[in-house]
Amino acid sequence: MPRQQGPLRVVDLGLVPYGEALALQRETREARLAGRAPDTLFLLEHPPTITLGRRGGPSDFITPRDALPGMGFEVYDTDRGGEATYHGPGQLVGYPIVAIRELGLSVPRFVELLEQTLIACLAGLHLRAQRREGSPGVWVGGRKIGAIGVHLKRWVSMHGFALNVCPDLKHFEAIVPCGMEDAEVTSIGAELGRSPAMDEVKERISTSFRRAFGYGGVETEAAMTSR
């Protein structure tokens, strides 16, 4: 269990373009580094977007990269860990801006707690999920339902996790998800035969994150991000 902390700030951003969310993460991380902001978890969805992590490259695209904008996808190179992943409506994204050293955490333990957060959320929805050693993320059977990729600057994190609630899974066919050619992608809706309300999943994630990381409570707010 991490060191006991005060409340966690959770900000529900709604549907936000990836570039706007990236700028907000960077701004908030600088504020956290300067002691002007508390640990914060942003919860949001993105329009159809493909991001490439530090280990990604041209081989991670099945659809040619230069064709994707014409198909309605934004494409970004990022400094997070991992390879290619898809974000879009129906997928809950969480960006924790957290000072992990103050929580007494190593980077591997931080990633493990993010996985535990998703696993606990899914358990509350009657889905049994698990980690895979050496493959960050969360799986239901052999199907990947949650992805994780982070970046740290002076021990403060950004980027985070993506949980498939009810996205269009066909959009993952444009890439090799997380660099795993044989990986099948799934969602809560596909596994249950019904999709829970996104607000319910956000509430479960907030609670699971608070418990996993040892925060004393949750302070939730909604925010406009037009920049």
Q: Which one of 178, 185, 188, 201 is the catalytic residue?
A: 178
Alpha helices in the chain (DSSP H): 18-33, 107-124, 188-192, 198-213
For the question of residue 166 being annotated catalytic, the response is: no
Amino acid letter, residue 32: R
Burial of 130 from C-beta contacts in 10 A (0-12 / 13-18 / 19+): exposed
Q: Tell me the Cα Rg of the chain.
A: 16
Contact 74, 47 (CB under 8 A): yes
Enumerate the active-site residues: 178
